Structure formats: structure tokens, C-alpha cells
């Protein structure tokens, strides 16, 4: 294979680097809350449920949105150096996942766009909303073209109840060695009549976040990458301190940190990024929700999950 030697060398270097950090993974499976799904779907207020990493299930004004779903183990090349998931189970099995009005993808990386998950949910999803170019991959997997909307930055999908806007992100795309940046990557604004949501996907900090906040904010809730806190990733991921600044730029009322708590993708203690995030949030007066996986967040409520549950799993 043309790139086999290069891949092997890269993976070996990453594995050797990671071995220096013994607390990259929790010592035992982390807790998962099994939600009352009927209550979640029928609640008068908009709600959200974090599945770990960047997978979020949102119920907004009667519509159900699933963001960046990864409900299986990662593609095997990832698990070589990330290991298996930190949980023994998920809040909902694939069979229990409800009907999805819109499946939202931020980009085509394996830890955000999982083929096995998408194929397993195929008969439950009414529509797919994705960045420009990603639709072709979904079509190859058997998704009908008529069920896919592709958007570029600034473009919007209008439904009868929601407005979804594709917004910039400082990241990249690719699923192989020869397709880097062939498709778009993005963040998303999900606007209902009463609720306004920002989903960051992956991406580093930049002036685009303030531009999004000025144009589309304020946001009732943001799902914000808190980064893997590793300089190896350069400007393509957001370190925790910058995530707090991004929240201020976006005019966000409540932040839920994502892109952590499920896989080990950097040479850091698995709780380091969320601890740094909370420390910075306290200094800057930013509200951060820290739900356990599967714990329901009621958007706009006075109370929200804020326990440091991970401290029992270090």
C-alpha cells in the first residue's frame, strides 16, 4: 500500500507519545444517565442531551436534531491510538434513538461522521443538513439525494419551524490521505422562534466567532469544543481558555463543553481540558453546564447540571 509505511510511522510516534501520559483514560467506565425519552421529547421547553464527545441530541420547539452522531466505536485506525470509548454503554441504544427530523453534520472526520451510526439510523432520519461536498459521501452510503441539504458559509435552510445557518469554523476536512479539504467544515446556528443554539463542531479560535455572535447571537446555549489541549493540533482545535473567550464573543448564555469525555485524542489527562475550562469560566463569569452523559439540560431553565462528576473517575 502506497501510504502504509507513512501511516505506520505516524501511529507509532503518536502511541509512544501517548504512553508518557498514564491518565489519558479514566480507570473505569464513566457514568451514563439513562434518560426518560418520552419526557424529553414531549417537554414544553427545548432540551438537549450530550452523548459524549461531540454527539448532541436536541429537542427544540417540537423538532428533534441529532448533531455529529457517533454511537459505535470509532474507525479502527482511530482506536489504535484513542482506545475504546470511556463508557460501557450509551444513554440510548441505536434502537432507542427516536425519529430524527434533522441529522446535522459539522464535517466529515470519522469522530463526527460515523458511517456505521449513520447507516444504522438511516430509517429514522427525515433529513440531513451538511457542509458543502459532504452529501456525495452520504449518497454513496445509500442516502437519497432528495433528503440531503448542502450549505456553504452564510447559507441557510429554512423549515416550517427552524432556521439552520452554516457558519465558519477554523478546522479542515478529509477521510483519507488524498481528500484533505475537498469538502467544507463548519459550525451551525440553530434558530427557533424562541430558542437560539450554536453548535461549534471542531475548530480553533478566531475572529469569525465574534462575527457569528454579532450577526446571529445572543445564544441561549452553545455546544462548544473545549479542545484536546495539545499544541500538536495547532489552530484546528480550541483550547479551553479560548473556548471561554469564544463564548463571550458569541454572546452565549450557557455553554456545554463538547469534544471531550469519550475518546482520548491527545497527550493530556482526560479531565484536564474541562478543569481548565471551569477555572477560566469562573474568572470570566461564564456559565458552564457539565452534564453527565445522557443527563438532560433544559434550555433556558434557571438550574442546569453543574456537578464535577468526573473527579470520581481519575
pTM more than 0.95: no
Cell numbers found for residue 314: 481519575
pLDDT per position as a tens digit, 260-299: 999 877 767 889 899 999 999 999 999 999 999 999 999 9
Omega before 218 within 30 of 0, i.e. cis: yes
- Check pLDDT > 60 for residue 306: yes
Segment among 89-98, 123-132, 240-249, 268-277 with least mean pLDDT? 268-277
Q: Please report the pLDDT score of residue 24 as a whole number.
A: 83
- What is the rounded distance in angstroms from the CA atom of residue 137 to the CA atom of residue 150? 12
Output the nine-digit C-alpha cell for 100.
430524527
Is residue 145 classed exposed, middle or buried when 0-12, 13-18 and 19+ CB atoms within 10 A define those classes? exposed
For domain 33-312, which architecture applies? 4-Layer Sandwich (3.60)
Amino acid at each position: 500500500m502506497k501510504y502504509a509505511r507513512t501511516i505506520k510511522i505516524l501511529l507509532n510516534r503518536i502511541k509512544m507519545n501517548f504512553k508518557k501520559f498514564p491518565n489519558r483514560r479514566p480507570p473505569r467506565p464513566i457514568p451514563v444517565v439513562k434518560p426518560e425519552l418520552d419526557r424529553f421529547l414531549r417537554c414544553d421547553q427545548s432540551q438537549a442531551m450530550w452523548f459524549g464527545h461531540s454527539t448532541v441530541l436536541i429537542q427544540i420547539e417540537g423538532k428533534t436534531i441529532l448533531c455529529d452522531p457517533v454511537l459505535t466505536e470509532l474507525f479502527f485506525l482511530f482506536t489504535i491510538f484513542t482506545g475504546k470509548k470511556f463508557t460501557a454503554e450509551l444513554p440510548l441504544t441505536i434502537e432507542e434513538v427516536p425519529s430524527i427530523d434533522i441529522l446535522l453534520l459539522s464535517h466529515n472526520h470519522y469522530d463526527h461522521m460515523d458511517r456505521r451510526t449513520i447507516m444504522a439510523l438511516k430509517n429514522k432520519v427525515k433529513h440531513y443538513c451538511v457542509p458543502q461536498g459532504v452529501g456525495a459521501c452520504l449518497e454513496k452510503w445509500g442516502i437519497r439525494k432528495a433528503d440531503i441539504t448542502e450549505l456553504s458559509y452564510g447559507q441557510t435552510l429554512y423549515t416550517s419551524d427552524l432556521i439552520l445557518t452554516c457558519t465558519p469554523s477554523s478546522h479542515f476536512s478529509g477521510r483519507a490521505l488524498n481528500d484533505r479539504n475537498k469538502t467544507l467544515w463548519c459550525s451551525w446556528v440553530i434558530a427557533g422562534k424562541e430558542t437560539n443554539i450554536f453548535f461549534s463542531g471542531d475548530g480553533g479560535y478566531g475572529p469569525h466567532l465574534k462575527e457569528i455572535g454579532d450577526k446571529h447571537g445572543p445564544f441561549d446555549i452553545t455546544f462548544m469544543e473545549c479542545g484536546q489541549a495539545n499544541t500538536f493540533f495547532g489552530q484546528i482545535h480550541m483550547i479551553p481558555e479560548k473556548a471561554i473567550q469564544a463564548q463571550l464573543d458569541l454572546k452565549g448564555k450557557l455553554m456545554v463543553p463538547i469534544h471531550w469525555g469519550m475518546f482520548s485524542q491527545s497527550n493530556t489527562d482526560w479531565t484536564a481540558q474541562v478543569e481548565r475550562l471551569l477555572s477560566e469560566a469562573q474568572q470570566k463569569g461564564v456559565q458552564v453546564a457539565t452534564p453527565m452523559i445522557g443527563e438532560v439540560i433544559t434550555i433556558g431553565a434557571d438550574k442546569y447540571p453543574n456537578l464535577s462528576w468526573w473527579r470520581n473517575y481519575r
